[in-house]
Chains A and B, each alone.
Chain A
Amino acid sequence: MAYDVKAVKKQWEGYETPLAWGRYPVEHEPIRRHCHMLDDTNPLFLEDGHCPPVMVDYFASLGPYPPADYDIFPVIAKIPTPGNRLINLNQEFEWHLPVKVGDRLGSSHKVVAIHQRGTRLDPLSVWIRTETTIVNDRRALVAKRTNQILVHRTPEEIAAGTSRA
């Protein structure tokens, strides 16, 4: 049976998760690991406890992925698609407030759009656009983020002509 992208769009576009709080508050040690990863010696992050802007979704998440239901992955996994391999293609962030060590962040996710378009990885690739809203413990908007996710099959699944949905 062919993949029915129209039915999937109808069921999933507009789906939103409830606000979920990060596993722990903004902490210094993860910020330092982030900086070490990039040879970033900025003392605002390493010493003063400013959160690098791109880490706000990290602190709004439920922990490492896997096994935790990290960020948008559990939402993507629920959407029927021919494959289950993921690639994040594009991302956009807009920040509204700075964040520091001790702040508590939470997030909610929304499925904005789903469509099917073949790629060099898989002629049945599915493109899923999501929007994430991140707030602090006063429920003030900290950041908005959008992602363009590509979901594809493995070469073996393509060769065998199998589809998970």
Chain B
Amino acid sequence: MSAGGHSPGPRWQDVREGEELKGFSLDLTATRMAAQVSGTQDFYPVHHDGDFARAAGHKDIFVNTAFIRGCLCRVATDWMGAEGFLKSLAFQMRRPNFAGETIAARGRVKKKGPEGRVDLELWIENAGEVTVPATATVLLPLRS
């Protein structure tokens, strides 16, 4: 269950550097891989056709960019609630996340800046390895 929703979310003053963000895990089952194509409308075969992926030199099909960034975005939007604004997101895909594997999307507060700014450290884990490191900045409301 997503935590954000209609909740106003944290006020900037209440955020602590180092605070963990609630993450989530997803099994990359065949059904999830199909949902990935449906959800992103990315029909490039390397994400759904095993023969095509292996012919290109990959172990198997792997989740696409839009799926990965969707996971990272969800960690931030779950946490920041209805009154936060996601200002930026940057990520590196160090290695593919393949069908049959399980990934976890995680995050923590890296640094508090001025005027509601909060820098986050986000990442995708796969079998204990960070396959996608990321950073994000959110703007949070101030408690008056």
Contacts and interface: CB of A to CB of B under 8 A. Distances in A.
B86 A36 contact: no
Interface stretch (A12-20, A89-97, A103-111, A132-140): A89-97
Contacts of A165: none
Interface in A79-118: 85-95, 98
Contacts of B125: none
A71 B78 CA distance: 27
> Which secondary structure characterizes the binding site on chain B?
mixed
B92 interface: yes
A40 interface: yes
Nearest to A88: B65
A85 B47 CA distance: 12
B13 interface: no
B107 interface: no
Given A64-B41, A88-B93, A38 B77 contact: no
State which size class the interface on A falls in. 35 or more
A85 B88 contact: no
B89 A66 contact: no
A36 B91 contact: no
Contacts of A93: 69, 88-90
Interface in B29-56: 32, 35-36, 38-44, 46, 55-56
Q: Which 3 A-B pairs have the closest CB atoms?
A: A37-B39, A92-B90, A64-B41
